[in-house]
Chain A
């Protein structure tokens, strides 16, 4: 006889917005610094002060009204129905209606306000996280996989969102109403109250604790099995073509059956236990009713209480037990959200890139670049550059050549200040680049990489990335100079054609031409180019060459070169091997030296199928870093 049904906490709003179902399977992750993390979430929430105060008032209001409901009900039963006295019944019923109506409206208002506050908090948190990422040095990204970072940005943030949107108000009002109900019950009938409060609290706490212990281990086992299953599927299906090419379908299916079966068993064990929660809570409630009805009835027989009070108590009992139950269920959600928040804050706490403090506007750079005894390593004890010194005068073209992993790309990475030197200094126009704000510095540098990154957007927008205030004519002009104009016109919507993610609907060569157009538009004083290698066909290659030469005119250019024509035309050639400049000079000078450079170009011109053993792939770890640029 649950007579007051103001149990709004009993079911959260439908979780349709839930992304994926990481929750369902993830083992409950334990936060490490609960208090600290809670405090920081609170700092975000606190910005919504007015909304929070408002919500708090509403919550207190609804909790009070929820206590009045059953009380009135008891009065009706004892005062009117049992005594068959209809006088004044109408008034009290109208009062009840009013109580319910205002409780409902308060609840509606509260969830309306809270939704806005929670979402604004999420917005702030997400914005802070993103802005941290924007200001991270590159080695931060080297240390982490994109997948890992994306999962923080999406599922961790989503977990926090679930808790903020659904649980905060629920937990607060739940705890409040538990306390309120307990007080009311003790006030009305202490003995009956003691019986029901003790029964429910004891059973709920013990039951959940027992279950949680049982579930945790089994969930961990299930989670591990799930990881193996997903890992196996991702790997096999991702490279299905290789599996087929080697006719290994059967072997892989057999392996799959083992992991699949393993997951099924562990899943059944874990889910059977976690599925106990529902029936268990149901049983606890029913036990409480039976006890309240039995003890209450017994007391009523001896005149120690009334039927109305029993009705009241059964209703209160439900109101008392339900929030406890819910908090127990929410506990898992809360824990993984806390763990997620902790990871999010870990990122927000990372040290951002160091930047020059004083911002005095640099005049248009002339393009005099000096590397003075520069050493650098990505990982400690694995030096990539050793005391490299080089000097490029304004307008000169410097060709960097050498085997993969020799350190060519690293020179570029240091000039752009993607990474900081370990020792030595780099100067542009006689001024240490550490004294130039990065934004200023990079605005003067144009970079064209082999693998061009395109954003999802139109062709025009992608070129405009070079200079945001460029007008359409300037964009077309840049495209013409980079030889991109021709193929852009062949695209379905010309300059307004939407490029798919990472520009996969364009070829390698076409993407590179767009990158050149970008650089032309940016009109930088210093250029950094990475020539394409084998993957582009001869004709496209020529177009790109042409465009690159056009771009290099009148600018200081660093070219990671692969083509002899480019190298020959350079003012200075630097041969880099094992992190050191081993040879430097013009084409003619280097040939005369009969060193590494000479061997390399000669071996090529003779097309000897057995060139001298001079060029080997370098240390694998460095290769990976190098390949990324």
Chain B
């Protein structure tokens, strides 16, 4: 409940609506409570005294009340929606801003799917619940209390029926809900089981077919399916007990009221209309209780959502902003120095990913980084734009520790083409202009040309305006990588990082890209992470990484002489020969 209450602070800007809705609901309830009394008036004063004036007058009054109640209900609904959607929108915006502020370290720990769920269905559940609460949470207790009071006013003796029936029903409902909850949790598990088999058969369809395992998968599915069906049946059966239990309790109450009431009418001069009104109030109270139980369930699911949302909302970015921020007066020259850097993704893990890394990259130099998978190549270059903070030592750009440079400023000067080339489902043009949305077309096409992307782009039906992704063109791995490189080139950073970003580009095109980069028109310092030795031959400096350590650095020929690991990689790729026409 705490998590939900905390989130209710998001109602503050919408407090007018949040107040108006319950107030109007109050009006509606009061008017609703009047109805049985008015009917009683018709019976006791109109029919009993044969007074048509009273009958018609009261009926008109009822119609008036009814119209007013309808208007109040309408208003309440409108204000509840305004409040709930206001809260939902604000909450979503707050979460989105939070995600924008998080560091890479946070993002690694949060699964993308889970993150999106929080912003979408979790916020929706909370929003729905607030809407329900604005209406139901006010309506139900008021209606219940009102019915009780009205009934007691009519006849204190009959009122005793309330005292017996309501607690009994409450206990019965609680017992049923208690049993239902775990059953539905099991249903969820059963559903997950069925979904897993389905998901695997979709993703692994080729394996299933290749091994001719149709029969086996059918059996696997049947098993999961049967478990789900059994659990679902149990849960539905349990939860469908509520209705008959409630109805029976209520009707027993009615019979009791008739029995006691008959005596009251005879002995104590109670009016017939009063008895009928009493029974009506009893019905209202019981139905309210029933709705209450539905609401409880909704609150408890919203509760789980609220917890997840709050967890995200309260998480702090791992990277701290520097206290006093340094801005570069002009474009930095691009000198990058790693001074005894050690790094680890999680402090709990004692194994360091990078150990005592020291090297210098002079402005305009090309530094290549080579090593086996898992040796820490990508991690090393990601420290330059400060995606993560070092655990020990320092990384400096033009002599300034990257931790002292505001993130935005730093990343304006450090361009990176990530290992996985990620494109947005917008036009090719906008994809390349990501880092500088208002770049001129000339700048755009220069970047594309230098990344050797211009040619294939101009062959597309809509050229630079072609849409990428599901609604647009399908690009091959190599084409995507070239767009990612163009994107990095466009911003003309002082430091350019290509993180294994030509692995799917064919050798010929890769050569052309390197040729252009070799001209180095913008005097950039460049870092190239690569698997293929052919990509690193011309580097000014090659760092050979093994298990997070630099085991050798130098030029190609220096390393061929001095470093055995380098030679081994070289041999394996030349004598044995990797044919490099494809690299998916």
Is A19's CB within 8 Å of the partner chain B?
yes
Is B42's CB within 8 Å of the partner chain A?
yes
CA distance A322 to B568 in the complex (A): 82
Q: Which of B101, B241, B476, B578 contacts A562 (CB 8 A)?
A: B578
Q: Are A256 and B476 in contact (CB under 8 A)?
A: no
Q: Are A297 and B206 in contact (CB under 8 A)?
A: no
The number of chain B residues with a CB under 8 A from chain A is: 194
Residues of B within 8 A of A2 (CB): 279-280, 283
Residues of B within 8 A of A298 (CB): 52, 55-56
Find the B residue at minimum CB distance from A288: B66
Find the B residue at minimum CB distance from A535: B373
Is A345's CB within 8 Å of the partner chain B?
no
CA distance A130 to B28 in the complex (A): 51
Is B422's CB within 8 Å of the partner chain A?
yes
Is A289's CB within 8 Å of the partner chain B?
yes
Q: Are A605 and B577 in contact (CB under 8 A)?
A: yes
Is A338's CB within 8 Å of the partner chain B?
no
Q: Are B283 and A5 in contact (CB under 8 A)?
A: yes
Q: Are B43 and A297 in contact (CB under 8 A)?
A: yes
Please classify how large the interface on chain A is, using the bins under 10, 10 to 19, 20 to 34, 35 or more.
Answer: 35 or more
Is B236's CB within 8 Å of the partner chain A?
yes
Q: Are A241 and B104 in contact (CB under 8 A)?
A: yes
Encoded as 1 (CB less than 8 Å from any B CB) or 0, chain A from 510 to 523 comes to 00000000100010
Is B213's CB within 8 Å of the partner chain A?
yes
Encoded as 1 (CB less than 8 Å from any B CB) or 0, chain A from 121 to 160 comes to 0110011001101110010010001100110011000000
Q: Are A257 and B93 in contact (CB under 8 A)?
A: yes
Encoded as 1 (CB less than 8 Å from any A CB) or 0, chain B from 540 to 584 comes to 000000000000000000000000000011001010111111111
Instruction: Looking at the assembled complex, report how far the CB atom of A73 sits from the nearest CB atom of chain B, in whole angstroms.
Output: 8
Encoded as 1 (CB less than 8 Å from any B CB) or 0, chain A from 594 to 625 comes to 00000011011101011111111110110110
Encoded as 1 (CB less than 8 Å from any A CB) or 0, chain B from 295 to 325 comes to 0010001000000000000000000000000
Given contacts A84-B265, A93-B255, A310-B43, contact A133 B202 (CB under 8 A): yes
CA distance A443 to B28 in the complex (A): 72
Q: Are B55 and A261 in contact (CB under 8 A)?
A: no
Is B537's CB within 8 Å of the partner chain A?
yes
Find the B residue at minimum CB distance from A612: B508
CA distance A290 to B70 in the complex (A): 14
Instruction: Looking at the assembled complex, report how far the CB atom of A289 sits from the nearest CB atom of chain B, in whole angstroms.
Output: 6
Instruction: Looking at the assembled complex, report how far the CB atom of A124 sits from the nearest CB atom of chain B, in whole angstroms.
Output: 9
Instruction: Looking at the assembled complex, report how far the CB atom of A598 sits from the nearest CB atom of chain B, in whole angstroms.
Output: 13
Is B442's CB within 8 Å of the partner chain A?
no
Instruction: Looking at the assembled complex, report how far the CB atom of B214 sits from the nearest CB atom of chain A, in whole angstroms.
Output: 5
Q: Are B255 and A96 in contact (CB under 8 A)?
A: yes
Given contacts A130-B198, A239-B422, contact A616 B290 (CB under 8 A): no
Residues of B within 8 A of A537 (CB): 372-375
Q: Are A609 and B514 in contact (CB under 8 A)?
A: yes
Q: Are A13 and B236 in contact (CB under 8 A)?
A: yes
Q: Are A112 and B584 in contact (CB under 8 A)?
A: no
CA distance A126 to B229 in the complex (A): 10
Q: Which of A38-46, A267-275, A327-335, A485-493 contacts B (4 or more CB under 8 A)?
A: A267-275
CA distance A235 to B580 in the complex (A): 32
Q: Which of A97, A120, A263, A466 contacts B211 (CB 8 A)?
A: A466
Q: Which of A115, A141, A501 contacts B233 (CB 8 A)?
A: A115
Q: Are B237 and A1 in contact (CB under 8 A)?
A: no
Is B262's CB within 8 Å of the partner chain A?
yes
Residues of B within 8 A of A146 (CB): 199, 202-203
Given contacts A253-B97, A563-B576, contact A10 B116 (CB under 8 A): no
Q: Which of B124-132, B145-153, B342-350, B360-368 contacts A (4 or more CB under 8 A)?
A: B124-132
Is B446's CB within 8 Å of the partner chain A?
no
Q: Are A14 and B180 in contact (CB under 8 A)?
A: yes
Q: Are B255 and A629 in contact (CB under 8 A)?
A: no
CA distance A314 to B273 in the complex (A): 13
Is A293's CB within 8 Å of the partner chain B?
yes
Instruction: Looking at the assembled complex, report how far the CB atom of A47 sits from the nearest CB atom of chain B, in whole angstroms.
Output: 14
State the main secondary structure of chain B at its contact with A: helix
Encoded as 1 (CB less than 8 Å from any B CB) or 0, chain A from 227 to 252 comes to 00011011101111111111111011
Q: Are B239 and A301 in contact (CB under 8 A)?
A: no
Given contacts A245-B387, A286-B62, A465-B211, contact A104 B247 (CB under 8 A): yes
Given contacts A294-B62, A301-B51, contact A616 B506 (CB under 8 A): yes
Residues of B within 8 A of A627 (CB): 476-477, 584
Encoded as 1 (CB less than 8 Å from any A CB) or 0, chain B from 36 to 61 comes to 10110011001100111001101110
Q: Are A268 and B200 in contact (CB under 8 A)?
A: no
CA distance A149 to B195 in the complex (A): 11
Q: Are A283 and B251 in contact (CB under 8 A)?
A: no
Residues from 247 to 268 in B contacting A, C-beta threshold 8 Å: 247-248, 250-252, 254-255, 258-259, 261-263, 265-266
CA distance A600 to B580 in the complex (A): 9
Q: Which of B154-162, B396-404, B411-419 contacts A (4 or more CB under 8 A)?
A: B411-419
Q: Which of B3-11, B82-90, B332-340, B520-528 contacts A (4 or more CB under 8 A)?
A: B82-90
Q: Which of A181-189, A369-377, A387-395, A401-409 contacts B (4 or more CB under 8 A)?
A: A401-409
CA distance A233 to B312 in the complex (A): 15
Is A53's CB within 8 Å of the partner chain B?
no
CA distance A563 to B67 in the complex (A): 84
Q: Are B46 and A13 in contact (CB under 8 A)?
A: no
Residues of B within 8 A of A443 (CB): 211-212
Residues of B within 8 A of A565 (CB): 576-577
Q: Are B531 and A535 in contact (CB under 8 A)?
A: yes
Q: Which of A5, A539, A628 contacts B286 (CB 8 A)?
A: A5
Given contacts A119-B232, A404-B476, contact A438 B100 (CB under 8 A): no
Given contacts A19-B191, A112-B237, A453-B203, contact A294 B56 (CB under 8 A): yes
Q: Are B210 and A16 in contact (CB under 8 A)?
A: no
Q: Which of B226, B263, B385, B581 contacts A403 (CB 8 A)?
A: B581
CA distance A263 to B119 in the complex (A): 14
Q: Are B279 and A112 in contact (CB under 8 A)?
A: no
CA distance A489 to B475 in the complex (A): 41
Given contacts A17-B184, A115-B236, A453-B207, contact A620 B473 (CB under 8 A): yes
Instruction: Looking at the assembled complex, report how far the CB atom of A41 sits from the nearest CB atom of chain B, in whole angstroms.
Output: 17
CA distance A541 to B100 in the complex (A): 39
Q: Are A104 and B508 in contact (CB under 8 A)?
A: no
Find the B residue at minimum CB distance from A95: B255
Encoded as 1 (CB less than 8 Å from any B CB) or 0, chain A from 347 to 379 comes to 000000000000000000000000000000000
Encoded as 1 (CB less than 8 Å from any A CB) or 0, chain B from 375 to 412 comes to 10000000001010000000000000000000110011
Q: Are B214 and A439 in contact (CB under 8 A)?
A: yes
Is B107's CB within 8 Å of the partner chain A?
yes
Given contacts A13-B242, A104-B244, A146-B203, contact A616 B509 (CB under 8 A): yes
Given contacts A251-B437, A607-B574, contact A239 B424 (CB under 8 A): yes
Q: Are B412 and A290 in contact (CB under 8 A)?
A: no
Q: Are B237 and A294 in contact (CB under 8 A)?
A: no
Q: Are B107 and A241 in contact (CB under 8 A)?
A: yes
Given contacts A1-B280, A276-B74, A298-B52, contact A245 B416 (CB under 8 A): yes
Is B439's CB within 8 Å of the partner chain A?
no
Is A86's CB within 8 Å of the partner chain B?
yes
Q: Which of A3, A247, A564 contacts B254 (CB 8 A)?
A: A3
Encoded as 1 (CB less than 8 Å from any A CB) or 0, chain B from 462 to 506 comes to 000000001001111111000000010001000000000001011
Is A208's CB within 8 Å of the partner chain B?
no
Q: Which of B58, B261, B434 contacts A81 (CB 8 A)?
A: B261
CA distance A253 to B284 in the complex (A): 49
Q: Are B531 and A534 in contact (CB under 8 A)?
A: yes
Q: List 25 A-B contacts (CB under 8 A).
A: A3-B280, A17-B232, A82-B272, A133-B198, A235-B425, A237-B112, A245-B416, A246-B487, A253-B97, A279-B73, A293-B39, A301-B52, A311-B276, A441-B212, A442-B210, A443-B211, A453-B203, A453-B207, A534-B578, A562-B578, A564-B578, A611-B507, A615-B507, A616-B506, A620-B473
A282-B32, A535-B531, A623-B476 known; 11 new pairs, CB 8 Å cut-off, are A2-B283, A86-B262, A93-B258, A111-B244, A237-B116, A240-B100, A246-B434, A264-B88, A283-B73, A286-B65, A290-B63
